[in-house]
Amino acid sequence: MMKLHLSALQITTILREHHLLKTIVKSVTEATYQNVSYDSRAVTADTLFFCKGNFKPEYLASAVTAGATGYVAEQENLAATIPGYIVTDIQKAMALLGAAFYGYPQDELFIIAFTGTKGKTTSAYFSRGILQQTTNKHTALFSTIDRILGPKPEQEFKSDLTTPESLNLFHDMREAVDSGMTHLVMEVSSQAYKKNRVYGLTYDVGIFLNISPDHIGRNEHPTFADYLHCKLQLLVNSRKCIINAETDYLEDIYMAAKATTDPEDIYLYARKGVKPTINVPVDFEFASQEDNLKDAKFTVKRLNEASGLDVSGEYQLALPGDYNENNAVAAIIAAGLAGASVTDAQATLPDVTVPGRFESLTTATHGTVFVDYAHNYASVKALLSFLRKQYNDSRVIVVVGSPGDKGISRREGFGKALSEEADVAYLTSDDPGFEDPAAIAAKIDEHIDHDKVTVHVEIDRPKAIKQAISASRPNDIVVLAAKGEDPYQKIQGVDTHYPTDMVVAKKVVAELEQ
Ligand SMILES: CC(=O)N[C@H]1[C@@H](OP(=O)(O)OP(=O)(O)OC[C@H]2O[C@@H](n3ccc(=O)[nH]c3=O)[C@H](O)[C@@H]2O)O[C@H](CO)[C@@H](O)[C@@H]1O[C@H](C)C(=O)N[C@@H](C)C(=O)N[C@H](CCC(=O)O)C(=O)O
Ligand SMILES: Nc1ncnc2c1ncn2[C@@H]1O[C@H](COP(=O)(O)OP(=O)(O)OP(=O)(O)O)[C@@H](O)[C@H]1O
């Protein structure tokens, strides 16, 4: 990585420009910092240290011992002997100073950013898949599953957050640029806006996929209005916008886009026959050609000549699910705005798969097993209703749990989706955190219509999977929902090893069919 630094003058100028600087304590005007960090355990010599979040004063003391020579915080630390930049908002200050420290890498990347309650990861994989062809493998990816910064094996790793903390974000962008990447496809969570991880960042293309109730609770958003507000910020900060015209709250979303973007640069798409709830022309419509488990083919047609871009054509996907056609259209338009041709998209999409999304396992003597990351009402409903259409005479058996400490509305959502689409449910654990998984299962159960669904409770997830597969008959489908390819269970603050749903399912099937 190129040699980076940040001077006291740069810091004060940026903070003043953005009205964030309250005061400077123990000022040293000629100071220069060679590193930035928000974690005392990662501090080295000449580091500018950020005190944020659930912070303890002793972290700053350890940071100083490790070599920190300046700090940024919302409160002065009277025990500290090093200069302090006291600010009104530490997260905003950290994002702005992080971008400056890493030399504004965003200016050297064409950035596509997806938001939405569902489909971010899938669409991001689709767009990157297409752009890898267009850019000759020079497209980076920041997704919930993994981050890919360059061609070396060590530049591909599991993500901790959907959207990284600002210092990590700009660090990783810098590494991507230094590794020759020209494009970046990223997911932006509502939390990223809530916590100002992406403060000051502008995207070349921003996409709004959909919004439904989720992520509302103690550690996330206080209300749905706050969740929507955070998500809308993505469009406010995008040069060009793409909007799924079928989404709820379309008017709010369109208005947010229009606040900063010329309507000519706002692209709407919808499934053929769907009439948007606002009077704005749809630029692209799509229609299924084949929509089953073996074949996912659809066409896209340009409706609005004025839109400039034309991505009309016939496309094929490796991932079934009618909702994935919607995700793919967003990805195709986004890649098109980044320079991809229709042929690039047609050639690459048939090979793009997403770990933990719509993975299947066929068995000889039992039902077909699906592993899928669906984990709120909208996604479980979308998945199960698609599967029901495919297997109209089959029993639908679902293994599912809801997380502790977050996404409380999912409990009711799962109960509702199961009542509408399932025959048998095995309620189990999924990241119970500091809550009792049996109490969470009981909450889901409260919302299940027992005239429609037979409910079993087995908190041990591998046992629940075994019971569900064992009880299935060849024509049944068994859906292992919500965990995708997660290799852990979050229990009492610890990521406890879990072999993944697919590994458990394969083991069960091997035992049953040996
Ligand atoms: C609510 C929230 O945004 N929390 C994030 C935040 O926590 P925090 O700032 O309070 O950090 P903390 O871990 O309590 O520690 C406080 C500070 O002390 C520092 N520290 C700590 C220990 C020490 O010895 N020395 C030290 O300096 C830490 O580095 C940190 O800066 O910053 C941490 C990184 O610095 C994140 O890991 C953490 O994400 C939590 C774990 C999380 O899971 N967040 C979820 C809700 C989230 O953001 N999810 C979205 C996806 C959801 C969606 O789709 O909307 C995401 O983008 O991933
Ligand atoms: N457009 C969509 N509408 C409804 N459900 C969808 C849609 N796209 C995907 N899903 C379902 O949601 C699940 C998660 O999809 P994906 O990982 O792409 O979404 P995400 O927005 O990244 O989710 P998260 O924020 O939870 O990480 C899929 O496994 C699928 O069951």
Domain annotation covers residue 13: yes
Q: What is the mean pLDDT of residues 166-186?
A: 98
Which ligand is closest in space to the CA of residue 405?
1
- 317 and 440 belong to one structural domain: no
* pLDDT at residue 513, rounded to an integer: 87
The number of the ligand 1 atom at minimal distance from the alpha carbon of 195 is 3
pLDDT value for 304: 87
Residues 6+ apart with CB under 8 A from 261: 235, 238, 239, 240, 241
Q: Are 267 and 243 in contact (CB under 8 A)?
A: yes
Q: Is the pLDDT of residue 214 over 80?
A: no
1 part of a folded domain: no
pLDDT per residue as tens digits for the range 261-309: 999 999 999 999 999 999 999 999 999 998 887 779 999 999 988 778 9
ipTM, two decimals, is: 0.96
pLDDT classification of 127: cutoffs 50, 70, 90: very high
- Which residue, of 36, 69, 101, is where some domain finishes? 101
- What is the Cα–Cα distance from 53 to 167, expressed in whole angstroms? 14
The pLDDT score that the predictor gives to residue 357 is 92
Last residue of a domain, one of 101, 117, 138: 101
pLDDT score of 455: 97
Q: Is residue 35 predicted with pLDDT exceeding 80?
A: yes
Phi-psi category of residue 449: left, alpha or beta, with phi > 0 → left and psi -120 to 50 → alpha: beta
Q: How far apart are CA 244 and CA 385, in angstroms?
A: 20
Q: Which of 182-186, 214-218, 224-228 has the lowest mean pLDDT?
A: 214-218
Element (H, E) at 169: helix 166-178
In this structure, the answer to whether residues 200 and 335 fall within a common structural domain is yes
Residues 304-347 pLDDT 10s = 887 789 999 999 999 988 999 999 999 999 999 999 999 999 99
Average pLDDT for 115-126: 97
Nearest CA to ligand 1 atom 28: 39
The domain total for the chain is 3
Task: Tell whether 56 and 143 lie within a shared domain.
Answer: no
- Residue 239 and residue 96 share a domain: no
pLDDT score recorded for residue 50: 98
Q: How confident is the model at residue 87 (pLDDT cuts 50, 70, 90)?
A: very high
* 80 and 178 inside one domain: no
> How far is 127 from 133, CA to CA, in rounded Å?
10
Q: What pTM was estimated for this model as a whole?
A: 0.93
Distance 428 CA to ligand 2 centre (A): 21
Residue nearest to atom 27 of ligand 2 (CA): 144
Helix 120-134 and helix 322-337: axis angle, to 10°? 40
Domain that holds residue 168: 105-351
Q: Are residues 141 and 251 both part of a single domain?
A: yes
DSSP for 9-47, written as a single string: HHHHHHHHHTT-EEEEES--TT-EESEEES-GGG--TTE
Do 497 and 437 lie in a common domain? yes
Q: Any bridge partners for residue 315, and if so which?
A: 298
Rounded to the nearest 5 percent, the helix, strand and coil shares of the chain are: 35, 25, 40
pLDDT of residue 215: 75
Q: How confident is the model at residue 514 (pLDDT cuts 50, 70, 90)?
A: confident
Does residue 54 share a domain with residue 171?
Answer: no
383 CA to centre of ligand 2 in angstroms: 10
For ligand 2, atom 19, which residue shows the shortest CA distance? 119
Q: Which of 83, 101, 119 is the last residue of a domain?
A: 101
Same domain, 303 and 176: yes
pLDDT of amino acid 421: 96
Is 164 contained in some domain?
Answer: yes
Q: How far is the CA of 143 from the centre of ligand 2 (A)?
A: 12
The annotated binding site is made up of 40, 116-122, 162-163, 189, 197
CA of 373, closest atom in ligand 2: 29
Q: Give the distance from CA 50 to its chain's centroid.
A: 25
Residues 207 and 83 in one domain: no
- Specify whether 86 is located in the same domain as 184: no
Q: Which ligand has the shortest distance to the CA of 195?
A: 1
Our mutation pick for probing the ligand 2 site, out of 122, 483, 502, counting the most ligand atoms within 8 A of Cβ, is 122
The number of the ligand 2 atom at minimal distance from the alpha carbon of 326 is 1
Residue 453: inside a domain, yes or no?
A: yes
Q: Which residues contact 510 (CB under 8 A, 6 or more apart)?
A: none
The string of pLDDT tens digits covering residues 44-79 is 999 999 999 999 999 999 999 999 999 999 999 999
CATH number at residue 326: 3.40.1190.10
286 & 271 share domain:
yes
pLDDT in tens, 6-24: 999 999 999 999 999 999 9
Q: What is the mean pLDDT of residues 382-404?
A: 92
Asked whether residue 448 is domain-assigned, the answer is yes
Query: What average pLDDT does the structure give for the chain?
Result: 95
Asked whether 37 and 167 are in contact (CB, 8 A), the reply is: yes
Total count of residues recorded for the chain: 514
Q: Is position 502 within any domain?
A: yes
Ligand nearest to the CA of 376: 2
CA of 71 to the centre of ligand 2 (A): 39
Of all residues in the chain, what percent carry a pLDDT higher than 70?
A: 100
